[in-house]
């Protein structure tokens, strides 16, 4: 120690740090510190062993969980998407709109995630997360936020092929269709070959057919809402879109009072109308089943993804949304794996984005016929047939 006297006070200073200490402190300021210079070799090995042991104790249960393989497969799909091409003229126009703060240009902050991710008219691949929401529904952590891009700005993307198109493959009404299929499978009066199995322990079992099976259990018309309307016999009272609204409001947790209020001008018995739709669609049946299966704070989707249990009003919505997310990602992965397995197809088809139940591909037009056939394959699932639509991404119908 060094000491000196100042105004009658004795001040004691530590010795200046040794070169070894200076090196260690400097290393701590780095993004990836060299811990071998900060800790002694013996202490470094001890701490490293503790880290490995603790990590193993934490990861092993996760690795053994039945859902982990599916989760990793989903992440693998999202991590292997490819950069999208930007139309430079459209980008220049959009840049001018943002710079001028035009009121007609919606969500400029979303567009800026694209502008900031663009180099040489090519967009970086976004970083997705499947764990930022309660249900596993995808979000984007960084990069171009395709999940929030308005339809009016989709023309920003263009094909990288001279004779190509940016196409969208979209599962039609996947969540309502899944709800109907599962509710029907619980009806013991129906001869469903692949029901939603209930284990003696009260948990939802795995599907009764192997995942690679292409034999569907239930085939429904493409237009689910028109089918429900016809089955209820309410065609003289309600339109297809009104039936759709009633179903979606119930599925997404709207209050029963608001649904009855919407129908009050159409009929003197709105409750009877809702009950008839529920009888055919089966929302109430599935809701009560889920409440019985998951009485406590924990739950999981049909594929085993663990989740917190919400209030009863949101229970069906969370279960269906989470299950539909896994189902769509699984089927998209089947398609992308088929593309990547064939060098010729890989040169003609480039998966760009997943937008929930929608896969966006940059497609050489010569591969369109193959793609149409492949879509028929991914529509076939162990639960039933889930029809897809295919359209140009920039002009996709609502």
Distance CA 287, CA 376 (A): 31
Q: Report pLDDT digits (tens) over 62-75.
A: 788 889 999 999 99
Describe the crossing of helices 270-281 and 283-293 by its angle, rounded to 10 degrees: 70
- For residues 74 and 323, the answer to whether their CB atoms sit within 8 Å is no
Q: Please report, in tens digits, the pLDDT of each residue of the chain (398 residues total).
A: 554 455 455 545 445 556 665 666 666 666 777 766 667 778 878 888 888 888 888 788 778 888 999 999 999 999 999 999 999 999 999 989 988 888 888 889 999 999 999 999 999 999 999 999 999 999 999 999 999 999 989 999 999 999 999 999 999 999 999 999 888 877 544 444 333 443 333 333 333 333 444 444 566 788 888 988 898 888 888 889 988 988 888 888 777 788 888 788 878 888 888 888 888 888 888 888 899 889 888 899 999 899 999 999 899 999 999 999 999 999 999 999 999 999 999 999 999 999 999 999 999 999 999 999 999 999 988 888 899 999 999 754 33
d(CA 214, CA 254): 35
Buried b / exposed e over 49-59, threshold 16 CB at 10 Å, is eeeeeeeeeee
* Secondary structure class of 74 (helix, strand, coil): helix
Name the helix (H) or strand (E) containing 72: helix 68-79
Q: How far is CA 306 from CA 66, 327, 344, in A?
A: 10, 15, 39
φ, ψ dihedrals at 174, nearest 5°? -60, -40
Which residue from 26, 98, 66, 106 is spatially nearest to 199, judged by alpha carbons? 66
How many angstroms separate the first and last alpha carbons of the chain? 77
Cβ atoms of 251 and 179 closer than 8 Å? yes
Whole-prediction pTM:
0.79
Q: Helix (H, G, I), strand (E, B), or coil: what is residue 307?
A: strand
Cβ atoms of residues 75 and 130 within 8 Å: yes
Q: Which of 133, 235, 243, 250 is nearest to 183 (CA)?
A: 250
Cα–Cα dist 148/120, whole Å: 23
Residue 4, number of CB atoms within 10 A of its CB: 9
């Amino acid at each position: 120690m060094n000491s000196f006297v100042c105004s009658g006070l004795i001040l004691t200073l530590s010795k200046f740090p040794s070169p070894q200490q200076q090196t260690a402190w400097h290393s701590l300021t780095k993004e990836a510190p060299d811990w071998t210079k900060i800790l002694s070799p013996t202490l470094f090995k001890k701490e490293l062993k503790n880290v490995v042991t603790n990590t193993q104790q934490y990861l092993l249960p996760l690795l053994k969980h039945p859902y982990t393989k599916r989760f990793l497969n989903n992440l693998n799909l999202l991590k292997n998407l490819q950069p999208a091409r930007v139309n430079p003229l459209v980008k220049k126009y959009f840049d001018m709109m943002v710079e001028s703060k035009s009121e007609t240009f919606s969500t400029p902050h979303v567009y800026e995630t694209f502008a900031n991710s663009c180099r040489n008219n090519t967009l970086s691949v976004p970083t997705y997360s499947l764990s930022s929401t309660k249900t596993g529904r995808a979000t984007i952590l960084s990069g171009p936020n395709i999940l929030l891009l308005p339809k009016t700005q989709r023309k920003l993307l263009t094909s990288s092929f001279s004779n190509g198109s940016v196409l969208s493959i979209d599962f039609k009404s996947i969540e309502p269709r899944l709800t109907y299929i599962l509710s029907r499978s619980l009806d013991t009066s129906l001869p469903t070959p692949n029901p939603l199995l209930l284990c003696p322990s009260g948990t939802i079992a795995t599907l009764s057919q192997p995942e690679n099976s292409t034999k569907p259990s239930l085939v429904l018309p493409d237009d689910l809402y028109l089918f429900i309307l016809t089955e209820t016999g309410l065609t003289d009272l309600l339109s297809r879109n009104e039936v759709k609204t009633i179903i979606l409001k119930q599925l997404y947790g709207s209050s029963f009072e608001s649904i009855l209020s919407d129908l009050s001008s159409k009929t003197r018995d709105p409750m009877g109308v809702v009950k008839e739709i529920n009888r055919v669609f089966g929302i109430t049946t599935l809701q009560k089943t889920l409440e019985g299966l998951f009485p406590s704070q924990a739950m999981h989707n049909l594929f085993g993804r663990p989740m917190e249990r919400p209030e009863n009003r949101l229970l069906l919505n969370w279960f269906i949304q989470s299950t539909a997310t896994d189902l769509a990602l699984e089927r998209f992965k089947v398609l992308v794996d088929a593309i990547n397995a064939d060098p010729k197809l890989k040169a003609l088809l480039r998966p760009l984005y997943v937008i929930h139940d929608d896969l966006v591909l940059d497609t050489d037009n010569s591969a369109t016929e193959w793609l149409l056939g492949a879509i028929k394959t991914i529509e076939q699932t162990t639960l039933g047939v889930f029809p897809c639509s295919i359209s140009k991404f920039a002009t996709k119908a609502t």
